Amino acid sequence: MAVTSLSTSAPGSEAALPEESRSPHRPLLGQSLAELTEWVQAQGQPAYRGKQLYQWLYQQGARSLQDITVFPKAWRQAMAQVDLGRSTLHHRVVASDGTVKYLLKLADGQIIEAVGIPSAKRLTVCVSSQVGCPMACDFCATGKGGFVRNLATHEIVDQVLTVQEDFGQRVSHIVFMGMGEPLLNTANVVAAIRCLNRDVGIGQRAITLSTVGVPGRIRALAAEQLQVTLAVSLHASNQTQRLQLIPSAGAYPLETLLDECREYVQITGRRVTFEYILLAGLNDQPANAAELAQHLRGFQSHVNLIPYNPISEVDYQRPSEASIRTFVAELEARRIAVTVRYSRGLEENAACGQLRASHR
């Protein structure tokens, strides 16, 4: 089921996914207990070493087989070149609110962002699903930097372990809101979710997958029967406006996207979150709220308003607090469930992709 690597994907097209390769170079991170046991046995070791490997990989933070001191020394040395699949820390920034941003270097030298967001009882990790992003949404820093490649399963799992180890605290929540469009990398993202749930012990309901929408992929995700929360980046109350912000909306009209979301609710029984960036004077008018409410009437959903985080490449503006409050009130008056999400760690290049752009 898991796929270890993919080449390029254009918006709306995920090339045929290659079957999982069993090559000896497949990193061990991302593999299940059964797979790891099979692997140690293939190396001539007893089956119980599979369990040890599993614990050291997922609980003890092993970065190389050398670290696993319960293994026989000779075998550790012979296996020193085996790739566990861990990244290396390239840069780390702590914001005054405790948010920690990481730039992680992958085996091929590519750099990705991950963010650890602590709050009262939670530790949330914002993970990337791709190096860069091909969707090119106009307000997004990652989109301005272009697309390089999909992340492999272990590269997604690694981000969560890295934050967990750095904080010395269990991760409670995961949001796929870092770099990339997860539904252009569905196979690896789904495999990572299953691993994070099964092997790292994070509840599926504590995982949110955020997508701008790729035709047919929300339906395909529903078929995976996961308990994760689906968040859809809507950002506009009509197709014309959405197309101004999101180029891929041309091939995926708002109505079609919403219909697929309705199917998702029907299949999974889980409500959908709609993300809506508020851009001053553009989509933050009371008329937009009314139009949005019209689309969502009777829809088992929740609106998450995100006041725009300014990025240097474009000159959109964040609305005033007063107009944010008015927008909320307009939705509430129409019985739409709504919350406002303020980004954390703002002074440290918070908008996705910004930290990476400034440290290449």
Query: What is the binding site for ligand SAH (CB under 6 A)?
Result: 139-140, 177, 181, 210-212, 233, 275, 277, 306, 308-309, 311, 351-352
Q: How far is the CB of 176 from ligand SAH (least distance, A)?
A: 6
Nearer to ligand SAH, 306 or 336 (CB): 306
In angstroms, the CA 176 to CA 339 distance is 19
Across 1-152, the runs of DSSP E, i.e. the strands, are 88-94, 100-105, 111-119, 122-126, 130-132, 147-150
126, 140, 195, 352: which is the annotated catalytic residue? 352
Cβ–Cβ under 8 Å, residues 229 and 294: no
Question: Is 352 a residue of the active site?
Answer: yes
Closest CA to 125 of 95, 167, 85: 167
Q: In what order do the strands lie in the sheet with 272-278?
A: 88-94, 100-105, 111-119, 122-126, 173-176, 207-211, 229-233, 272-278, 301-307, 338-340
Q: How far is the CB of 3 from ligand SAH (least distance, A)?
A: 19
Closest CA to 24 of 105, 81, 71, 64: 81
Q: How many helices (H) and strands (E) does the chain have?
A: 12, 12
Chain centroid to Cα 238, Å, comes to 26
Nearer to ligand SAH, 57 or 127 (CB): 127
- With tokens 């091929």, the residue in question is 108
Nearer to ligand SAH, 28 or 191 (CB): 191
Nearer to ligand SAH, 27 or 116 (CB): 116
14, 113, 181, 348: which is the annotated catalytic residue? 113
Q: How far is the CB of 245 from ligand SAH (least distance, A)?
A: 9
Nearer to ligand SAH, 36 or 338 (CB): 338
Q: How far is the CB of 216 from ligand SAH (least distance, A)?
A: 16
Residue 353: DSSP 8-state: T
Q: How far is the CB of 280 from ligand SAH (least distance, A)?
A: 12
Residues carrying an active site annotation: 113, 352
